[in-house]
Structure 1
Amino acid sequence: MAEIKVPELAESITEGTIAQWLKQPGDTVEKGEFIVELETDKVNVEVISEEAGVVQELLFAEGDTVEVGQVIAVVGEGSGATKNPVEADPAESDAPVKNVEVAPATTAPVEKEESSSTDRTIASPAARKLAREKGIDLQAVSTVDPMGRVRVQDVSAHTAAPKQAPAAAPVAKTTSAPQEDDGRTTREKMSRRRQTIASRLLEVRQSTAMLTTFNEIDMTNVMALRTRKKDKFFDDSGVRLGFMSFFTKAVVAALKKYPYVNSQLDGDYIVKNNFYDIGIAVSTEGGLVVPIVRDADRKNFAEIEGNIGELAKKARDNKLSLSDMSGGSFTITNGGVFGSLMSTPILNGTQVGILGMHTIQKRPIAVGNEIEIRPMMYVALSYDHRVIDGKDSVGFLKTVKELLENPEDLLLNS
């Protein structure tokens, strides 16, 4: 008999949510095989079984909150169903299944009732998570995958599809809205990650003396340099030249000049970081995540662009690990990709500074005694005034501006 416990996740993570049971009571599990997917504040983690045997009991249902070290399932000796219905190989579907006596579990009836309509459908964990949050029956979702696998895009398309019958009863099944709402509102439970984002952002606002200073950057020269070099850059490195590498390099140079912006508070101490791990905010369906480009000061433009591309893909595919997002000394967030003209970014965790990029917009600008139309970008630095004074914050942003308006200078600071 072996107990399946919630493993140590990360220093700052003490609990998680059962996102999906990958095995059911009576299923055979091999040593090292995944048995459950946990949703944490940052990433989803799949937990393995340390012993081979038969799943005897699931102590929690999907959606339950569990703590690190807590026993969540029991695996006993013997053999049972060879595969979970979700993972069954069509070639083995007619294989005989041995009858196994399964220890009673208080949560098993609920588990079967909740999962009976979806366990027969092949779906990615991300699709199951989205369907569960929106109260959608996966069997009702149409998919274009030739193997019949339901993806996140299919669930999203199902959500956006017009309802066939306004008066149909299933409305009560897909939402937790009270009867008196009469279909005019939809109540959707926040995911664990969204709850964590909300509480941490509120905590930052309440526990820091956050201020924001703004500036604007004439993007003419950096855009011209990018246009001239992007084809050769791609041929030489295999990655595309974007603006994020320019901003990352400019930020690193500014952090070296103003080290307090690259620090954090620890009680009565200011801890100045002598490394430059730059967080790049990425928007995903589950919320904003901030993977880290490690040692950005030691990387060239191609390496930075490659890192950012890999991390962004992992974020969209829900493949980020805790190590991808742990630490970080400063963060860059780009609201411009959504068309934001100006905003006030909120500090990330214990960091004391975050740079907000915005959309590039052509505006009339005084150049000498002439008025010219130039591509301009507003940038914002939010900072903790307990650590950073106005002089450093304005100087930091001015340095970023000057380097980007004279991008050749970035080579001297790389």
Structure 2
Amino acid sequence: MSEIKVPDLGESITEGTIYKWHVKEGDTVGQGDVLAELETDKVNLEISAEEGGVISAILRGAGENVAVGEVIGRLGGGAPAGGKPPAAEAQPTAQPPAETAAAQPAAAAPAAAPEGQAAENGAAYLASPGARKLARERGIDLAEVGARDPIGRIGQADVKGHGAAAVPAAPIPAPAAPQSAPAGSTPPPGKAADGKETERKRMSRRRLTIASRLVEAQHTAAMLTTFNEVDMTAILDIRKRRKDTFKEKHDIGLGFMSFFTKAVVGALKAYPLLNAEIEGEDLLIKKYYDIGIAVSAKEGLVVPVVRDADRLSFPQIERQIAELASKARANTLALSDLQGGTFTITNGGVFGSLMSTPILNAPQVGILGMHKIQLRPIAIDEETTVNRPMMYIALSYDHRIVDGSEAVSFLVKVKELLEDPEALLLEG
């Protein structure tokens, strides 16, 4: 008999959520077979069998939070004894409730837990590991604990505060549920108070992490956004003339992201504070250029990183971005694909956005937003106006270390490099 444990999840990740099991109790598996999929804050990871055998027990179900090293199942060398799953995993129809209570009266309370546990599991999903442990030690239901965090994540301080307040409040629940309450006072599941249909859906771990980090970025950084616009005529002309040759030679399309990545690298070299981060009372100015490219995936936005972008050619950048985007949409990104970016580029234009204010990807202090290319009348001189393909670009930055003049100059530099691709080839 061997244990199925949650593997080491990588730097700074101590827990995950079981996304789904690929096996069930009684299944025979071989060494290396995928047993379950685990959702973490950043990526989904597969848990594989370290040896062959029969799944004798599944201890934690889909949707449950689990910590690194925790036992979530057992793998035996033969069929499970009696061919029956453990009581905790048995289906409700496997044994009449009365028979269960008669046979094991001491287990009656735990047997009722799976139905009543739903609310606690929902709260535990938003609770830190320390808070869950403290709640278990004090016998506190996490569903009743209020959170001070903006997204509702429960911390140890919330549990301690609830525990202190719970003592005098203990005798009060009796009159809280009077028998005289109107029969229809509580709307049924899927119904709002006025009878209209609703749907309640638990946020995924990744969506919770995105929410938490975006709120954190706005709370911790002095975030400001400045705008400019780029005449895309020269880039569109190059793509029109060179796209077929580029595709034949490099087996990859020539998109916009390689131009923007090169322009950002050139501007970061000219204005290095936008390639820095704050560490305590120090500035950590990075001399390398790992550019994060925001990609929209099913579970939310992810930012895989193009490493050493200053050393890559246009086809190498395009190929890396295409590979990372494909992995993001297939949910196969590795943690190493997401860690350590120095600056981020996000393209809302692919969804039709004309202008936006991107939020920083902390601890980075700069993010460039691209937008939709749109024909607009541009005055060439006092007498001449022409239609040009224009794009608004936005730079959000941390004003704690980047002054407005430097941010504006950075964005102007990006504009100049994009409008003059020859300079882009030299400086990017």
- Which of the five TM-score ranges fits, normalised by the shorter chain? 0.7 to 0.9
Q: Per-residue CA shift, 1:88-131, capped at 9, x if unaligned? A: xxxxxxxxxxx864572524447x9xxxxxxxxxxxxxxxxxxx
**Can you list the C-alpha shifts for 1:244-286, whole angstroms capped at 9, x where unaligned?**
1000000011111111101111111211111111111111121
User: In structure 2, how many angstroms separate the alpha carbons of the residues matched to 1:413 and 1:69?
Assistant: 49
Shift of 1:11: 1.4
Once the two structures are superposed, what CA deviation does each residue of 1:131-167 show, in whole Å capped at 9, x if it has no partner?
Answer: xxxxxxxxxxxxxxxxxxxxxxxxxxxxxxxxxxxxx
Structure-1 residue corresponding to 2:424: 410
- After superposing on structure 2, the runs of 4+ consecutive aligned residues of structure 1 that deviate more than 6 Å are none
The equivalent residue for 1:45 is: 45
* Match 2:86 to one of 104, 119, 125: 104
**1:205-258, CA deviations, whole angstroms, 9 ceiling, x for partnerless residues?**
111111111111111111111111111111111111111100000001111111
**Counterpart code for 2:9:** L
Question: Is 1:35–2:39 an aligned residue pair?
Answer: no
Question: Who is 1:357 aligned against?
Answer: 370
Match of 2:190 in 1: 177
- Larger deviation: 326-335 or 42-51? 42-51
More helix by share: 2
Unmatched runs of 5 consecutive residues or more in structure 1: 81-98, 113-174
The answer to whether the Cα contact below 8 Å between 1:58 and 1:108 also exists between their aligned partners in 2 is: no
Cα distance in 2 between the residues matched to 1:26 and 1:338: 47
Q: 1:393 pairs with 407, 421, 424, which one?
A: 407
CA RMSD of aligned residues (A): 2.1
- Matched residue type, 1:48: S
1:33 Cα shift? Answer: 2.0
Please, which moves more after superposition, 345-354 or 9-18? 9-18
SS in 2 for 1:331: strand
Helix, strand or coil at the partner of 1:106 = helix
Shift of 1:202: 0.7
Structure 2 Cα separation of the partners of residues 367 and 382 of structure 1: 29
User: Alpha-carbon deviation of 1:200?
Assistant: 1.0
In the TM superposition, what is the alpha-carbon distance from 1:390 to its structure 2 partner?
1.3
> Among residues 234, 242, 256, which one is paired with 2:247 in the alignment?
234
Match of 2:336 among 323, 328, 333: 323
- Are 1:8 and 2:21 matched, yes or no? no
Native 8 Å contact 1:337 1:359 kept in 2:
yes
For structure 2, which runs of at least 5 residues remain unmatched after alignment? 95-187
TM-score by length of 2: 0.74
Cα 1:403/1:6, change in 2 over 3 Å: same
Contact 1:176 1:188 in 2 (8 A): no
Instruction: Give the drift of 1:176.
Output: 5.3
Q: Is the 1:58–1:105 contact (alpha carbons within 8 Å) kept by the matching residues of 2? A: no
TM-fit CA distance, 1:30: 2.2
| Separation in structure 2 between the aligned mates of residue 40 and residue 209 of structure 1, nearest angstrom | 29
Determine if contact 2:192/2:198 at 8 Å carries over to the other structure: no
Q: Deviations over 1:13-32 (max 9, x none)?
A: 22111111112222222222
Write the letter of the residue equivalent to 1:106.
Answer: A
After TM superposition, the score normalised by the length of structure 1 is 0.77
Aligned AA for 1:14? T
How many Å separate the matches in 2 of 1:15 and 1:256? 38
C-alpha contact 2:226 2:396 (8 A) present in aligned 1:
yes
| SS of 1:363 mapped into structure 2 | strand
- C-alpha distance in structure 2 between counterparts of 1:237 and 1:339, whole Å: 29
Identity %: 58
Question: SS of 2:4's equivalent?
Answer: strand
CA contact (8 A) 1:56 1:102 kept: no
Amino acid at match of 2:275: N
Q: Tell me if 1:383 matches 2:397.
A: yes
Structure-to-structure mapping, 1:267-282, within 5 angstroms: 267-282=280-295
The CA deviation at 1:392 is 1.7
Contact 1:57 1:105 in 2 (8 A): no
* Cα shift at 1:54: 2.0
Aligned counterparts of 1:265 and 1:198: Cα–Cα separation in 2:
22
Find the aligned partners of 2:324 and 2:91 in 1 and give their Cα distance.
40
1:58 aligns with 2:72: no
TM superposition shift of 1:188: 2.1
Distance 1:299 1:310, change over 3 A: same
| Preserved CA contact (<8 Å) 2:232 2:391 | yes
Aligned residues: 334
Bigger mean CA deviation after superposition, 222-231 or 365-374: 365-374
Instruction: Map 1:12-411 to 2 at 5 A.
Output: 12-79=12-79, 101=83, 104-109=86-91, 177-178=190-191, 180=193, 182-369=195-382, 370-411=384-425
Instruction: State the AA in 1 paired with 2:408.
Output: V
Instruction: Say if 1:361 and 1:179 are closer, same or farther in 2 by CA, change over 3 A.
Output: closer
SS in 1 for 2:364: coil
What SS class does the counterpart of residue 16 from structure 2 fall into?
strand
Higher alpha-carbon deviation: 369-378 or 349-358: 369-378
Residue 227 and residue 57 in structure 1: after superposition, are their counterparts in 2 closer, same or farther (change >3 A)? same
Q: 2 CA distance for matches of 1:105 and 1:274? A: 58
Go from structure 1 to structure 2 and tell me whether the alpha carbon gap of 1:38 and 1:227 turns closer, same or farther (over 3 Å shift).
Answer: same
Distance in 1, Cα, partners of 2:286 & 2:58 = 45
2:56, 2:79 within 8 Å by CA — same for their partners in 1? Answer: no
2:123 alignment counterpart = none
- Give the Cα separation in 2 of the matches to 1:394 and 1:267: 26
Deviation at 1:383, TM superposition (A): 0.7
Larger Rg belongs to: 2
Mapped partners of 1:327, 1:315: distance in 2: 17
Aligned to 1:130: none
